[in-house]
A = this chain, B = another copy of it.
Amino acid sequence: MKIYEVFKKETEYALRGLVYIQLQNLNELRPGIAEIASEVETPPHFMAKILQRMVRMGFLESAKGKNGGYSIHPAQGTLSLKKVVSAIEGNNLFEGCGFGLKACDENHPCPLHNSYAPIRDAINKLMEEETIQKLAGTGKEELIFALNRKS
């Protein structure tokens, strides 16, 4: 019986990585894969793959060679969680019925549709308002602690 999580591992690791990178960028630093994976406690090779994808998606910039590493792409001055999540997982979380009980829309709502709608709206709001920058901006030490802490 698998433990349920809202996000896929890939998404979770991506978010943690992005926040850590942003945090280091604030100090003019460009962390590399080894450092990032170690600090946010993810499998390093897997994190490498994920960061590559973030680069391709335009969320990150990367620099090779000595003193290389990652930084948040300048064009992503405010990078909402929704952007990241929907880029990786698609946007069914934000648009779908949420219960997967077959196709259902405003015209043909499934029995759960109307009860779920406000929840979906709240998720949308939260994920649109919350950004990587905000997460990296408040209470840094506690944040990293929270990101790092083992269960």
Query: Interface-forming stretch among A3-11, A60-68, A70-78?
Result: A3-11
Q: How many interface residues does A have (CB within 8 Å)?
A: 52
Indicate whether A118 sits within 8 Å of B109 (C-beta atoms), given known contacts A1-B90, A12-B100, A103-B149: no
Chain B residue nearest to A97 (CB atoms) is B6
Do B1 and A99 have beta carbons less than 8 Å apart? no
Q: In the bound complex, how far is the Cα of B126 from the Cα of A118, in angstroms?
A: 11
Write the nearest CB–CB distance from A68 to chain B, whole angstroms: 27
Write the nearest CB–CB distance from A54 to chain B, whole angstroms: 14
Do B111 and A139 have beta carbons less than 8 Å apart? yes
A148 interfacial contact with B, CB 8 Å = yes
**Which residues of B have CB within 8 Å of A89?**
1-4
Chain B residue nearest to A126 (CB atoms) is B115
